[in-house]
Amino acid sequence: MIIRLTVFLSLALFPGGFLWGQADSAGPRAVFLGQHPFQHQRLTESSALATSATQNDILWTLNDSDNPAELFAVDTLGRDRGVVRIEGAENVDWEAMARARCGNADCLYLADVGDNRERRTSVQIYRIREPRAGRDSVARPNAILAITYPDKPHNVEAILVTPEQDVYLITKTSAEGPMVFRVPGSAWSLKKTEAQLIQTLPIPSNQAGSFLATDATLREDGRVAVRTYRYIYFFRFDGNRLTPAGNGFRCDARGLELQGEGIAWLGGDTLATTSERMAMAVGGISRITCGP
């Protein structure tokens, strides 16, 4: 425990230089506001993040591949706020999550869309009504949507869900950069559908890891943040496409986390991000802003 906390203290004391080195002059630098390890012992592979619609200081996260079908409630201090077991769901490779309305309810969209070897013939998104945090409980999906791609299987770790329940799937990488596929909200009345390729994002392709897209989040005003291991990229919706949000749409986030995965808007320009466990360091949650 002392070693694990030491790693987090190192990040807190020296944000920006721990993993990647100095800031990149090509964009603003992420400002570190605080970082805390997750307290729940099973929460070791946090790969997605979503804020609660109605419960103050509650965020939802999940473990990725081959873990139980569970949803973890946490706060910005990393404290355990309850675990929700999802009945009727399987965690093949849960890698993304979003929160959006579904009818008259607030729902969470749990995306079993990871596919490192790009071999899965279809992937699934489970839609559940947002549970209450504060205690362990059980929930069941109110819809399950199987998704295929028009060309070949893809590895996806980031999704967006609009108020109309349109789903945008962002591939982790491709030869040109992350690809964006769209599933219209009308598809939720079906059991299976094929996603449509919309665009390729202007994020460099880098198989070494720095620019791999690991999560995305949508703010109420339509502003989108897509995170990679190195940068956070900002976009806005222009019809069905994502357009870079101005000239300085890239924020340098190097060094803030050991294995950056999840991202979610907290309010205003503040973001929450999560990191998986690596070596002797536990995973945790951070708060950041991107300033000049």
> Checking phi first, is residue 68 left (phi over 0); if not, alpha (psi -120 to 50) or beta?
beta
Tell me the percentage of the chain whose pLDDT exceeds 70: 87
Report whether 55 contacts 132 (CB < 8 A). Answer: yes
Q: Read off the tokens for 229.
A: 């291991």
Confidence of residue 208 (pLDDT cuts 50, 70, 90): low
pLDDT tops 70 at residue 123: yes
**Would you place residue 292 in the very low, low, confident or very high pLDDT band (cuts 50, 70, 90)?**
low
Q: Mean pLDDT over residues 28-43, rounded?
A: 92
Write down the pLDDT at residue 19: 35
Residue 91 scores a pLDDT above 80: yes
pLDDT band at 11 (very low <50, low <70, confident <90, very high): very low
pLDDT at residue 113 tops 80 = yes
Q: Lowest-pLDDT range, 23-37, 41-55, 128-142, 147-161?
A: 23-37
Q: End-to-end CA distance of the chain, in Å?
A: 36
Mean pLDDT of the chain: 88
pTM, rounded to two decimals: 0.90
Pick the more confident residue, 4 or 278: 278
User: Domains in the chain and their CATH numbers?
Assistant: 2-290 (2.120.10)
Give me the phi and psi of 77, to 5 degrees please. -100, 5
What tokens does 85 get? 């077991």
8 A C-beta contact, residue 99 and residue 92:
no
Model confidence at 136: pLDDT above 70: yes
Closest CA to 223 of 274, 264, 167: 264
Would you state the pLDDT for residue 7?
A: 39
Q: How confident is the model at residue 276 (pLDDT cuts 50, 70, 90)?
A: confident
